[in-house]
Structure 1
């Protein structure tokens, strides 16, 4: 099918597609058009990675906008949202405005009503529904990317409930669901009342197999010799072999530590395949990566990037990940060693995918558990890029014949597992039942069950008894904690319940926060950090070897700071959870006491991405705590607000005013303060030479900061930096790195050395 044959598109779009190199649609794409994708028909496309699913989504959205509607594109990850927004902006010449929304869960973001296409995470769309965003009623098309993730116990229920609510708001909504190839795509299509396009077709041939001994054996029985020299690792041999044909490699391992160690080893392999120009490019890239963060992780990543390799995991900052992904797509970086998160939709195709580790640790399982077939197939799908690779190869590693046979049976020849709803899990139900009542989708128990009947879970359940039992248990919990009122069959969200729903909190988190705040007379920052760290919405730091003793001692030293009863040491699980929350809270306290990022990373064994994640989550939860304290008219509102600001800026109390000026940040605020510029007002009056000296002579930075502070004339023309101010600031920074907070605010750093 040619682009000119596609009905319902805005004028000029078919010609644009041809000019972009799309002279003929791929077979799965053509089938979606034949089934009405550009004429408002709902559809599930279950096709392999790199088979043109994004264009299917674009065809649906462009035709929807052409009919006068608004399109919504739902993604599972923030990083993927940014990537898709950039892709869709290629339609700007056709007067298509694209918006993106991924944060601020307490907003209806009415400005999005002016956009033709909105890209958002499923959590953000859920929050928009809860906050009554009126523009959602104008939607004519919603695209759910990676819809097979309804199977994910954490993210799945939100996507499932959100799609059900959007279809309830707009009954004739066109739903386009994009999925990996799964065993029961027909069940997803039945749930969404959609046509199904299911295909195994790929534009680039993908060969899957297992490496054992000195060769890869592929699924069709053919072999490719990849000998492993004495003392060499199979992974290195496979990467070297791909590079001999100018192909990149993506290596999947089961932990961050393994990703970093493997990247260091592979860097010696990739370095031998670099041109002089590539070495120069990588040297520049390595400097950018090192500048992102002061941590050892940042330095380690820069070191391997210089040689053409990289590692990728959740401990990296967003900037780290973005730089690595871009360079890998450009083939400047030749090999990435990654944890499985990189397989979840981000566009990082390679010539060869190597699944080195097919087991990972699972606490509930009690040991190393084999990966799901669908997850491994998602990794496989990263291999082969149209227009760049003549083929793709996905390879598992075996150490013996028995393992080789098992890998063929479990992954190479196996179909992926069927998608199963995880909605009936109680943590998901707590959040979504309260939101369903608070946003008016159901006002009775029977109304709730009727709404849930529109979910995937209901279409898959053999009977309704389990669902009804979970609903009753959750309603009892919401009632007992003051989030809903029950009058017979009637259900009404209380004011507190409405607030909790709009804040996008797990009701159990809200209950923990409310109980803690009610018990607080004059809460300390550590007490508040610990309070939010023990909620289900915060992923706590694990206790490592020796941590229990360290944090037990700290627990008793700081016992008066806690908001709530400290569990007995004999309550093993509860006490361990309390200490894990304390470790997390201590990280936040160190951050808010201006301890350097590299010291924090070293002390807690985390990466810059972990620090940023904990800080962002704490800022959100403390903001929610401030709202709840205000709602309940508690006396601790100011203390909570200050603790939130200190986490947000990463500073001590005296720097809050300065750090609030856009562009300053925690280190610049300290330098300015030690140079005598202690407030926003001081910035408007201080000698420019002093400001410039404290900012290390960076004129453009100084001008921008003065402008943001409201200074009438921020220009630094003919201004020389005050050397004394610069010296004072540098001395202050050195002092900040080693000095401890007051005894009642922070334990001695020696306790954690």
Structure 2
């Protein structure tokens, strides 16, 4: 019984009974691995000259690597390593790769990095070490920013992937599942022999469901292929695909280990869960608290203590300050500069002379960075160009600047050493929830782990600055590992739909069987009350998994993704295959289908008025007006932006006002009301619409097409996020429209093709097609055409107007266009002449010499 009593008022109390019937005490099982006192193993233990050259920068392996060496390099059992940041976990993954390549020369290793920045860093490092002499292996990156053809993937030895990218690709492991030959290009998946997952403890966070799907599918593929090759194989034989999980120390390593295939019931070989205290470089952590209800004023009060901490702990060594936003990077840096100026030593953080740093600032694009870097303070966030980021990283690594203020994503990305790490605030603004939320504890530990990197320092210091009420929490739990729980249920519809589309799940019973493979099933048994199961008994767990499977299948059926017949056979529909093939939310295809049908209705309604002007009946279906083109394309792109794919596009504080101002300058407004209305006026738009993620996405898409100036720098990165998804979503809409078979489907498909053209060329229907050329805008295109027309005598103005088209320009000889470009004034074009010529003459020249139309009258 809990009794609550007021400390201020007499008689104000409450008694509340709490049932402990379902309470489970933690199992008293030793889950930590002791670090053995072993003699460091020399790299000659690899017994291969080529492999030894890969580790030429070290003479011996560190204690953790030494203890794991035999299991990694001389066995094929799965491995789970829990160790603090800076313990050499990357080398552990490399030893597993060397073992795999010794046994399977044609085998492929998949390395899963949690972030694109970490994937790029790993590609950069491994591309040099494994890609060069003596190995000459092909190392490729697969993330949202990179694409490779089938031949490149077939030749790959190591693929560095983000979880989402590998999840999408591995769905096609069976081959042709939906009539699309692209799936047959993924036969290389069957050559995968090693899966290395970095930061596998992120399983318990938002993207953890993707990691869970990857591992569960990998083990299923491995078992299936082994069974096909050798039906008589023993269950105790190693699986075809070895899984190596790299993590920080966790509270429930047995569940994780069992899930990746380690025999936890008997030997536990392959399970290593070291304590946080084994860090090769000791780190001292200070937790400081600051009062203040409001976020921004509290952050401002932390700036002076940041300056004091740098002077005390790292006056002449590198210091790294983590903040929550790009704006905070600028504000923090400016305040540090002012505090240094008050101390009459403004260049205290600069490690080179003024002349050298001033020469470098001329190549920096960001204005704030250009200012702060002259004082020895660098900025690092996603809003910087890649060139600016490279300059900052190089200067920081060389010691020419000693302070780096970065957003928290850097903790997972680039490996930059620091004597001192300051975590300035433990909260960030969540655009989806529209409020400030705490960092996951794993993120805070990752930031702290950047202090005292091996090979750079003998000790490190970390300062965690938090709000007053959270100080005791961080002091108590910072080094107490929490259990990793499953997040699969949040994305179970998408994962189960993918397995149904690929043919892995064909019935309701198969759906339950799929869940048994997951980490989710293991945690339901270990912690039933957390997930809603009655108890941990086998009967109740099976009943719960069955109900979860039924509930998920019902949702998928309601969204039109699957069909279930009377025999409980499950089949994927067009919408389900679209969701799987294009990596969509399971509700998105139905939204797209509705938008496509509405577009078809608009086209059909408009066609009679257009057809009345055409006397040839067979040509009427091909007739379109300019207004119909604009209305239908605007509607299709609006439909695309209203899907669930943009639910998490952040709308930050006060950005609704920026969205309203931006909409006034764009062609279609906030909701297509401008183009849909006959008078071209926007209808009334509720103020809340501008605070909507989908509205912001639609505005950013229009701004991209019109090349409009965005109000603030944050919108540039948001625009990139939107435009990265648009081609995939348009392809999904084409996939659905091509299989609809409704009246008007051909017209809708043709409009989708035109929308793709506009996105690819970054232009609008009203823009001059010549603006597709590199460095050419509307004004400069007219200047170029005037120069060309001036060479022709005897032309009327009408003749010149007709010839002012991209098609006519493409028909001219290259030397004629080159001469006209040279006659134009310097600065007319934003690109070199050669680049303009190349972009012009790489365009296909399509001509139709003769056309015939045949038609027959059906006899009824």
Per the normalisation by structure 2, the TM-score is 0.70
Contact 2:81 2:273 in 1 (8 A): yes
Within the candidate set 95, 105, 119, 1:81 is matched to: 119
Say if 1:42 and 1:557 are closer, same or farther in 2 by CA, change over 3 A: closer
How far off its partner does 1:457 sit? 0.8
How far off its partner does 1:515 sit? 1.0
Within the candidate set 820, 832, 837, 1:706 is matched to: 837
Aligned partner of 2:821 in structure 1 is 691
Within the candidate set 136, 145, 154, 1:95 is matched to: 136
Contact 1:383 1:392 in 2 (8 A): yes
**Structure 2 Cα separation of the partners of residues 656 and 629 of structure 1:** 29
Listed as ranges, the matches of 1:631-646 within 5 Å are 631-633=739-741, 634=745, 635-646=747-758
Within the candidate set 436, 450, 469, 2:499 is matched to: 436
Say if 1:644 and 1:337 are closer, same or farther in 2 by CA, change over 3 A: farther
**Structure 1 Cα separation of the partners of residues 683 and 74 of structure 2:** 60
Say if 1:193 and 1:576 are closer, same or farther in 2 by CA, change over 3 A: same
Deviation string 1:654-681 (CA, Å, 9 cap, x unpaired) is 66865666xx2xx545565243366377
Deviation string 1:389-447 (CA, Å, 9 cap, x unpaired) is 232111123687x8655542243xx413221110011xx12211111111121111111
Contact 2:431 2:649 in 1 (8 A): no
**Structure 1 Cα separation of the partners of residues 483 and 61 of structure 2:** 28
CA RMSD of aligned residues (A): 3.7
**Structure 2 Cα separation of the partners of residues 13 and 613 of structure 1:** 40
Within the candidate set 158, 161, 164, 1:117 is matched to: 158
Listed as ranges, the matches of 1:356-395 within 5 Å are 356-361=424-429, 368-395=436-463
Aligned partner of 1:675 in structure 2 is 783
Deviation string 1:305-341 (CA, Å, 9 cap, x unpaired) is 3332233344445555454444433444422323322
Within the candidate set 289, 295, 307, 1:236 is matched to: 307
The answer as to 2:210 corresponding to 1:158 is yes
Within the candidate set 482, 489, 494, 2:573 is matched to: 494
Deviation string 1:16-43 (CA, Å, 9 cap, x unpaired) is 42x32x1111111112213234532210
The answer as to 2:711 corresponding to 1:601 is yes
**Structure 2 Cα separation of the partners of residues 81 and 442 of structure 1:** 31
Partner-residue secondary structure (3-state), 2:81: strand
Say if 1:514 and 1:301 are closer, same or farther in 2 by CA, change over 3 A: farther
**Structure 2 Cα separation of the partners of residues 375 and 592 of structure 1:** 37
Unmatched runs of 5 consecutive residues or more in structure 1: 214-229, 291-297, 713-753
Deviation string 1:330-379 (CA, Å, 9 cap, x unpaired) is 44442232332222243233111111212345689896544333221111
The answer as to 2:591 corresponding to 1:591 is no
Contact 1:444 1:489 in 2 (8 A): yes
**Structure 2 Cα separation of the partners of residues 231 and 344 of structure 1:** 24
Aligned partner of 1:135 in structure 2 is 188
User: In terms of mean alpha carbon deviation, does 498-507 or 430-439 score higher?
Assistant: 498-507
Aligned partner of 2:795 in structure 1 is none
Within the candidate set 513, 516, 522, 2:595 is matched to: 516
Aligned partner of 1:534 in structure 2 is 642
**Structure 2 Cα separation of the partners of residues 38 and 347 of structure 1:** 30
Within the candidate set 723, 726, 733, 1:615 is matched to: 723
Listed as ranges, the matches of 1:208-357 within 5 Å are 208-211=285-288, 233-244=304-315, 246-268=316-338, 269=340, 272-273=347-348, 277=352, 279-280=354-355, 282-290=357-365, 298-317=366-385, 320-357=388-425
**Structure 2 Cα separation of the partners of residues 338 and 183 of structure 1:** 30
Partner-residue secondary structure (3-state), 1:527: helix
Aligned partner of 1:731 in structure 2 is none
Within the candidate set 75, 87, 94, 1:58 is matched to: 94
Partner-residue secondary structure (3-state), 2:364: helix
How far off its partner does 1:174 sit? 0.8
**Structure 1 Cα separation of the partners of residues 415 and 655 of structure 2:** 40
User: In terms of mean alpha carbon deviation, does 312-321 or 191-200 score higher?
Assistant: 312-321
How far off its partner does 1:204 sit? 1.9
Unmatched runs of 5 consecutive residues or more in structure 2: 1-39, 174-185, 224-238, 263-269, 291-300, 529-540, 603-627, 786-804, 844-860
Say if 1:11 and 1:705 are closer, same or farther in 2 by CA, change over 3 A: farther
Aligned partner of 1:25 in structure 2 is 61
Deviation string 1:684-712 (CA, Å, 9 cap, x unpaired) is 64532443547849999432443454489
**Structure 2 Cα separation of the partners of residues 444 and 557 of structure 1:** 43
Contact 1:317 1:608 in 2 (8 A): no
Aligned partner of 2:563 in structure 1 is 485
Say if 1:66 and 1:410 are closer, same or farther in 2 by CA, change over 3 A: closer
Say if 1:232 and 1:704 are closer, same or farther in 2 by CA, change over 3 A: closer
Partner-residue secondary structure (3-state), 1:584: helix
How far off its partner does 1:111 sit? 2.7
Partner-residue secondary structure (3-state), 2:140: strand
**Structure 1 Cα separation of the partners of residues 514 and 830 of structure 2:** 59
Aligned partner of 1:452 in structure 2 is 515
Partner-residue secondary structure (3-state), 2:87: coil
Per the normalisation by structure 1, the TM-score is 0.79
**Structure 2 Cα separation of the partners of residues 316 and 556 of structure 1:** 31
User: In terms of mean alpha carbon deviation, does 264-273 or 616-625 score higher?
Assistant: 264-273
Partner-residue secondary structure (3-state), 1:450: helix
**Structure 1 Cα separation of the partners of residues 829 and 690 of structure 2:** 46
Contact 2:649 2:718 in 1 (8 A): no
**Structure 2 Cα separation of the partners of residues 514 and 585 of structure 1:** 18
Contact 2:318 2:420 in 1 (8 A): yes
The answer as to 2:673 corresponding to 1:558 is yes
Say if 1:696 and 1:484 are closer, same or farther in 2 by CA, change over 3 A: same
The answer as to 2:79 corresponding to 1:43 is yes
**Structure 2 Cα separation of the partners of residues 415 and 443 of structure 1:** 43
**Structure 1 Cα separation of the partners of residues 399 and 90 of structure 2:** 22
**Structure 2 Cα separation of the partners of residues 695 and 324 of structure 1:** 33
**Structure 2 Cα separation of the partners of residues 557 and 534 of structure 1:** 12
Contact 1:529 1:589 in 2 (8 A): no
**Structure 2 Cα separation of the partners of residues 361 and 707 of structure 1:** 45
The answer as to 2:295 corresponding to 1:187 is no
Contact 1:207 1:394 in 2 (8 A): yes
The answer as to 2:272 corresponding to 1:197 is yes
Contact 2:144 2:165 in 1 (8 A): yes
Contact 1:57 1:143 in 2 (8 A): yes
- What count of residue pairs does the alignment treat as equivalent? 664
Within the candidate set 20, 41, 44, 1:2 is matched to: 41
Aligned partner of 2:22 in structure 1 is none
Contact 1:85 1:99 in 2 (8 A): yes
Contact 1:304 1:310 in 2 (8 A): yes
- Structure with max Cα Rg: 2
Say if 1:648 and 1:334 are closer, same or farther in 2 by CA, change over 3 A: farther
Deviation string 1:440-489 (CA, Å, 9 cap, x unpaired) is 21111111221221111111113355544443233223223332221232
Partner-residue secondary structure (3-state), 2:246: strand
